[in-house]
Structure 1
Amino acid sequence: MGTFAGNTEAASSVKSNEIVSSAKSLIGTKYRYGGTTKAGFDCSGFIGYVYKGKGVSLPRTAAGMYSKGTPVKKAKLAVGDLVFFNTTGKGVSHVGMFIGNGQFIHASSSKGVRIDKINDPYYWGKKYVGAKKVANVQVAKK
């Protein structure tokens, strides 16, 4: 199994359509604090589960994930990049996966696995901290 991407190279190659499809198949799964299975996910448990299914092992927490990987500017986000938010006022506390078109998929504590807009002016846009590349996600050829 691959490990988390370092600062210079990605650990594993993943197809964008596969990673997004895997994540979207879990939409509606309920939120569970500390959850790492289909019975219920927290944010980092969800991201870890999706990537583990593609052979990429990630740290367990959002802050742990943020401390690794290669930084990505918001304007350069690619499908599969992890996006991080400060929802508590105490640093990185939430993680999701960018899926394109200004959207990310994540496990919301109030609504479970869902898709939201990264630049939502009422909440997520104000909480955005940064993004990291964790694997070599290849755009699927149509």
Structure 2
Amino acid sequence: MKSSLYIAFFVTILCSSFTLKKNQVEANRIETAQSKIDRDSIIVYAKQYLGIPYLYAGNDPKKGFDCSGFVNYIFKNYGITLPRSSSGFKNLGTKLAPEDFKVGDVLVFYGYRNKNIVGHVGIICEANGMHSKFIHASSGKAGSVTISDLDSDHYSKRYYKCINVLH
């Protein structure tokens, strides 16, 4: 009787170790997939939507994008889930120093009326610190997905932070 209990115990331990290893392998696979995302391919993918009209609450290239809908849509293509609202980026990630900005990082801006509320997001497409360019869905003059200069008066005054969402 005792020997069959020992065998059952041994089989349970053995099966558990295989399950743990399988879960660990899966976690490593996901982590590796994210680290292998080519930042330039994100921008190539995003640029195909240049000119798509701005649409409040939009997240569909057939209808239009708002800023967070655009960023969410682009990164979703790479298996990365980001907030659907620009305000959801306020406490997301760690603020990068300008010299650490990379293509594919997300820029977060305050609203143009209120310096306490996050109101806009975009993706760096040319990294050069505070002289970077970014692609975003603009409700302003462009009224569409466009590329803008971070160092323009309009955006430099509203800049809140830049975050890496690909680590």
Normalising by the smaller structure, the TM-score range is 0.7 to 0.9
- Equivalent of residue 28 in structure 1, options 43, 48, 51: 51
- Equivalent of residue 95 in structure 2, options 52, 68, 71: 71
Aligned Cα root-mean-square deviation (Å)? 1.8
Identical columns (%): 35
1:12 CA drift (Å): 2.1
Paired amino acid for 1:96: G
Flag structure 2 segments of 5+ consecutive residues without an equivalent.
Answer: 1-30
Instruction: Indicate conservation of the 8 Å contact 1:11/1:134, yes or no.
Output: no
Paired with 1:10 and 1:72, the residues of 2 have a C-alpha distance of: 22
Paired amino acid for 2:123: M
SS at match of 1:51: helix
Considering fraction of residues, name the structure with more strand: 1
1:75 CA drift (Å): 2.6
Structure 1 residues 96 and 10: CA distance shift in structure 2, 3 A:
farther
Paired with 1:37 and 1:10, the residues of 2 have a C-alpha distance of: 29
Instruction: Indicate conservation of the 8 Å contact 1:71/1:130, yes or no.
Output: yes
Structure 1 residues 30 and 10: CA distance shift in structure 2, 3 A:
farther
Residue aligning to 1:4: none
List, as ranges, runs of 4+ consecutive aligned residues in structure 1 with deviation greater than 4 Å.
Answer: none
By relative contact order (CA 8 Å, sep 6+), the higher-ranking structure is 1
- Equivalent of residue 135 in structure 2, options 105, 108, 121: 105
The TM-score normalised by the length of structure 1 is 0.82
1:11 CA drift (Å): 8.5
1:125 CA drift (Å): 1.1
- Equivalent of residue 50 in structure 1, options 74, 84, 95: 74
- Equivalent of residue 164 in structure 2, options 120, 133, 136: 133
Flag structure 1 segments of 5+ consecutive residues without an equivalent.
Answer: 1-8, 137-142
| 2:125 corresponds to 1:94 | no
Max radius of gyration: which structure?
2
SS at match of 1:84: strand
1:76 CA drift (Å): 1.5
Structure 1 residues 127 and 21: CA distance shift in structure 2, 3 A:
same
Paired amino acid for 1:64: G
Aligned length: 127
Considering fraction of residues, name the structure with more helix: 2
